[in-house]
Amino acid sequence: MTATSFQEQLVEIIAKSDHVVVDCATVDYVSSAGLRALLVAAKAAQSKGMKFAVCSLKPHVKEIFTVSGFDKIVRIDPDRETALV
């Protein structure tokens, strides 16, 4: 999946939902374009006043979020159960 199609799908889901959790359990790599897609989605969710979270990051993917500062912008939960609370 490309970052552009991911972003488009997320924005569509946000338009129809009251909360969104992105489960990244199977994600091995996030490009800068992928981070941008998450940022656009997080801002869209924030503008609706809705909950937006990312969960189940593998350690090396979580490091990308930390180094890039995304852990300060996007809520990161350890697992889906926690993210849904």
What is the model's pTM?
A: 0.89
Domain boundaries, the chain: 3-83
Burial class from Cβ neighbours inside 10 Å (0-12, 13-18, 19+) for residue 28 reads exposed
- On whether the CB atoms of residues 64 and 30 are closer than 8 A, the answer is yes
Check pLDDT > 90 for residue 1: no
Q: How far is CA 15 from CA 19, 21, 55, 75, in A?
A: 10, 14, 20, 19
The CATH code for residues 3-83 is: 3.30.750.24
The pLDDT tens digits of the residues spanning 17-60 come to 999 999 999 999 999 999 999 999 999 999 999 999 999 999 99
Q: Cβ contacts of residue 16 below 8 Å, gap of 6+?
A: none
pLDDT (0 to 100) of residue 57: 98
